[in-house]
Amino acid sequence: MTIAKNSKMMGLLNYRLRLTLADGRAMAGHMLAFDKHMNLVLSECEEFRSVKPKAQGAKASLIKRTLGLVILRGECIVSISVDGPPPSSAAASLQAKMALAAGPGVARPAGRGIPVPPPGVPPPGLAGPVRGMGGPAVAAGPITFPRPPPPPMAGAPPPGFRPPMPPPGFRPPMPPPGMGPQGFAPPGFQPPYSGPRPPPS
């Protein structure tokens, strides 16, 4: 089902409508929007339902509940009737709701026992550091920082480094057969000749 833009529903935008639903409830609110499935958006919506009492012969009571902004599914709606005209302007209706009568009280800032300073003066505790409490005073001069230590030389261990010690009972590995201990020349090794060279012939 398609609803034309010039349909009767377009003329009912912002009107206060009363709707009857399939489960017997009634809704009243200002229609803000609708679609081709007859889904409705209602603002300031109120729900009315009648509750049958348990005692026989007593009248059914009508219970009203305020819902606010509601989206109603179109297949739940049985009937629609106009309940009232649209508000003169949305802003005027909002201002009427927000306007409150002035009360007898006087507005004062609520502190926690701390006097409120005059405008332009920072509150106590937020004026900056105090001499002897947490940092230098404002008139103490510029803050200087110590120079960082120079970086260690390339290949040198970092300062404070101690080489790891072997575990207790550890023996250094034995050299291969035919090799002497570390630091000594192997057997049969002749160092290169470093004396005077004979003249070329």
pLDDT for residue 133 is more than 70: no
| Angstrom distance (rounded) from CA 156 to CA 152 | 7
How high is the pLDDT of residue 82?
92
Q: What percent of the chain has pLDDT over 70?
A: 66
Which CA distances in Å does 24 have to 16, 47, 197? 19, 11, 125
Q: Which of 29, 143, 23, 39 is nearest to 81 (CA)?
A: 29
- The tokens describing 8, both together, are 């009767």
pLDDT for residue 26 is more than 90: yes
DSSP string, 91-154: HHHHHHHH-----S-------SSPPPPPTTSPPTT-S--BTTBBS--GGG-----PPPPPPPPT
Phi and psi, residue 172, nearest 5° = -65, 150
pLDDT for residue 77 is more than 60: yes
User: Which residues 6+ apart lie within 8 Å of 93 measured at CB?
Assistant: 87
- The whole-model pTM stands at 0.42
CB atoms inside a 10 Å sphere around CB 83: 14
